[in-house]
Amino acid sequence: MTSRNKIVRIAGFAGSLNRNGKTRALVDMAVQDIAARFGVEGVVHDIGDLQPGLTEGDFRRGLSPVALRRLDTIFAADALVIGSAVFRDSYSPTFRRLFDLIDPATLAGKPVLLALAGGEGRHDLVIEHRLRPLFAATEAEVLPVGVHATALELRIGEPPSMALRRRLAQAVAQFAPYIESKTPRRISAA
């Protein structure tokens, strides 16, 4: 279990097979913003890094040694940014399969920022009605505010909208209670 003021590594996981897609771009932005704001290490992987074994029966036996190391890197992090693309008003079946197969204790007590890419404004509800319940079962400390980037706000090769940048900054700020200040505190004598 992660205790407050002990975060030094943030991992992002983009639950999309498209490495150049909006989900990966959103997770990358969030992890980069967290790393820059708090001076921590950040790494991002996506569901494609775990293929082809993720779609097979006992997926850990089907994963390559490289994919297993990536999976271990993700879940060894002190905090996570987990992103999904909108898929039929939910997340993809492959994304769900990963979280069905991991030990829920893997995420227990870790702060998790939920991110969603694509769709329209009404798809914000996917965070609340699909992603949040999925992670509640893991006992992760899901942060209260998730971030959703609509198809119009995040276009590959273009800067994100200012509205998205503001929401992302608000979401990233939620990590503050968990991350040790990098500025030494001075104690003055009375």
Indicate if the pLDDT at residue 188 is higher than 60: no
Is 37 within a domain? yes
pLDDT higher at 66 or 148? 148
Q: What percent of the chain has pLDDT over 70?
A: 84
Helix (H) or strand (E) holding 79: strand 79-85
Domain extent, residue 139, equals: 9-175
Indicate if the pLDDT at residue 143 is higher than 90: yes
Is 129 within a domain? yes
How wide is the angle at C-alpha 164 spanned by C-alphas 28 and 151, nearest 5°?
80
- In the predicted model, what is the mean pLDDT of residues 129-147? 89
Is 185 within a domain? no
Indicate if the pLDDT at residue 4 is higher than 80: no
pLDDT higher at 10 or 71? 10
Indicate if the pLDDT at residue 178 is higher than 90: no
CATH number at residue 52: 3.40.50.360
- In the predicted model, what is the mean pLDDT of residues 122-146? 86
Q: Please state, in angstroms and rounded to a whole number, the distance separating the CA atoms of residues 115 and 112.
A: 10
Is 189 within a domain? no
| 63-119 per-position pLDDT tens digit | 777 777 888 888 899 999 999 987 777 777 777 877 777 788 888 899 999 998 877
**Average pLDDT in the chain:** 80
Domains identified in the chain, total number: 1
Is 38 within a domain? yes
Is 2 within a domain? no
Specify whether the CB–CB gap between 78 and 68 falls below 8 A: no
Is 52 within a domain? yes
Is 138 within a domain? yes
- In the predicted model, what is the mean pLDDT of residues 136-155? 87
